[in-house]
Chains A and B, each alone.
Chain A
Amino acid sequence: MSKKSKLKTKHQKSKVSAVEQPAQLGKGLDVGTAFIYAAEKVGDEIVFRIERDAFFDIPLSDHIKEIFGRDSVKYIRKGDQLYVVGNGALRFANLFQRNVRRPLERGVISPQEKDALPIVQLMIESAIGSHGHAGETVYYSVPSQPIDADFDVLYHQHIISGFLSGLGYAPKPINEGLAVIFSELAEENFTGLAFSFGGGMVNVCLANLSIPVVSFGIARAGDWIDKQVAYAINEPISTVTGWKESYLDLDKRENLSRIEQALSIYYDILLDYVVGHLKTEFEKVAVHLEKPLAVIVSGGTAKPNGFLKRFQETLQRFQLPIELGEIRLASQPLHSVTKGALIAAIADEAKKREKE
């Protein structure tokens, strides 16, 4: 065979394989208060499908569906009501100076938004897609039991499980903090302290060789900050959320605008609150460690520039009863939980195949 035809054959092969690469079995799902993330492994890549966990209701009118279709605005029509979902919801909310509706609150299905269950179901279905085979494993994140609020996560867990079973998957829950440990602490043999600063909750998990030793949730996180700041400066919550996600720099200490100052203050209050609770929980459990504990921080609320430095300063100030090692931000703070769930799912599928 000539060199030219060999090269051509090689090119054709790689072109074909890129198009036809099947996804590896096993998926990860993070149903968060702020965003829904789904992940699967396709060839050498992990692909994420992300949707903002929000909707905005507007009355149905003529032509609006066509306009939405042209502008790629995602919507759900329920009776005579139209709901813009995802990122479009935030845009409309800012336009109308109103707040979006959130199907999840403080990390779990919102008791105030039970009517939104079908919307959540569709959004999850859109994110996760159809299964590779019946009974494909999907690990979905569940928050830890909150220590500062009186609700449990069982209802939320079963609702999500029901949705996924209905789609033909074999759903398995994974603690959100533990998922971060799976994603980020392989070098440390899945031993360390993980924080997931989400929208509705902060999830904390101390694991030793992948076994959770201490895990709890705190029902204050990014949404709480947005709400407090919005009230303090008399702006819609959606406006604060949008600004925070785009512009906030916690390293900036001078010449702060009203919104920057308010966000800075409430971030400090949140960090004090979280670390204070952490100290109390550690004092209850009396954890003994052989070496300093690696700390990993993840979640959208931890993304702003300067967050990690403030968190480190807070930890030092509180003088926890355990020795902490390196404190670092996850390589992809928004995706750690989903990646951890994906890892658990792929490992599960591999074990299933070995048994067959």
Chain B
Amino acid sequence: MADMAHNRLEDLLILAMDDKISSEQIRELNTILRGHPERIRQAVLFLQVASHLKQSKKMAGMAKPWLTSDSRESFNGFMKLMAEYENTAQTVQVEESSKAEDKTLVRPVRVHPVRPPVSRFSVYTLIISAAALLCMVAYVFLNPVGGHVETATLSNSVRAQWAPMHQGQMKNGARLAVRSGPIWLQNGLAELQFDNNARVLIEGPAEFEIIAEDRIGLEYGKIYTTVPPEAIGFSVYTKNAKVIDLGTEFGVEIDSLGNTLLHTIKGKTRLIAGRPTAPVSMEISAGQAKKVCADTQNIMDIPCNTHLFARLIDSQTGSVWRGQVSLDLADIVGGGNGFGTGRADYGINPVSGKPSKMGTENRFAENRYRSVQENPFIDGVFVPNGTNEQLISSQGHLFGECPITQGLYFTEIMNSPGPLDGRMMSLNNVLYGSGENPCIFMHANLGITFDLDAIRSQFPGKEIVRFQSFVGISETAWRDCNADFWVLVDGRIRYKKMAVQQKGLADTLQIELSGRDRFLTLVVTDGKDQPRELADGFIRQSIDCDWCVFGSPVLVVE
């Protein structure tokens, strides 16, 4: 029976490696494996054989020597072949010229002086022409039409890499003039604030030019334009279209084929495009998008992508907001800005307040509130213990109901940790610890306070309206558990669940927030159970197996 299961397992794995396995076969495969560590090991080793075959030098050696996957070997092999060829190649004979050619190339030339006639009329004409030219040049410099009239400021940039000729000039605060030539942004994002208050966010690679005080030309790349009422009429020109703002936010992209793509996000725009002999003018409203084909000039409907364009950037934090509605707090714990720039399996030590990998040992600590200097979005961290007054913010907010705990902690406050004792975090069979299912892992006793003002400053004009999270104790914790979950806003308890002893999803949180709220604090405490000795001699501490998870914790932004 065991052999049959093994054979069947291997047959299914071969199909899976070729993407030829059906849903029913997948279910069968998992049934064969579930609860059978030896079969799982067999599967692991079987798959590794396939991988090793792909990497095998012997397998690769059956091709020509200099076509191996190792680039160094390839290069050396190629050079060896070239050297061998060099040694064995036939000498090539070059014919020498047999004619004795006259090699004299330069002959003396006699120059006869000539006196050209110059009339007075010619002289007067020359003088007048020179004066006129001088006046024209002076006029251009003193009354510039377009060129050298400054009309916009480079107000912000994130990871911007400019073409070499612009690098000295393009720094935050630089003034840009009309018709000063094309500008190349090779990578990153740059924001231009026009003097008429229109704001343009350019995403590289891009080439653009400021055509006039209310007009920008885009050769290729992406730009997002936010136009206040006083700047209505601001326009984006491309090779095959003009987009005129009618009081709105819109994005324009020139793709690799030269097509113009317009996405109107708010308000309305006017699109003028089509063949030069028969231009078309149409109004494009919020939620609509059009594509102007470079080759045919045809105008087509396309889906409006509200997240395609960077809409707000912050050079201090490197934040880029593309209209996402939620901000990942787990990412912030990992040192990020809430949009995926943080490190998974990384966190903050509650005693030092410093970024840290996960430690796994019982440690005692005082309940001092530590500020987190390295992270602008986190106010502080602590090991909660109501034995003494529990401070939970830099502004003096207190956690009045903080229970008395053992003062022990086991791990750091973690963003999406890897396996703990070989086990991933899981709530109701959803694995946490990846980009799609991030979590803040807080093994009791731990507390963290987020600075909502700092987070808010990334989105001028937007509001944080809600905190959302799944909460519970991971099903994968070894033994029984007992922990408390708390959520406080400016020191006021907005959620608590005490003595959670059931593993899995305990609650789905939706906590409303307002513009006046400053600090969001998450706390887990050890449930007040006392240390005890188990039958096997193991001393069970109060925090053991309190694997507390805030799953997919986000701040909703509107």
Whether chain B is bound by chain A comes out as no
Report A's interface with B, CB cutoff 8 A.
none
Report B's interface with A, CB cutoff 8 A.
none
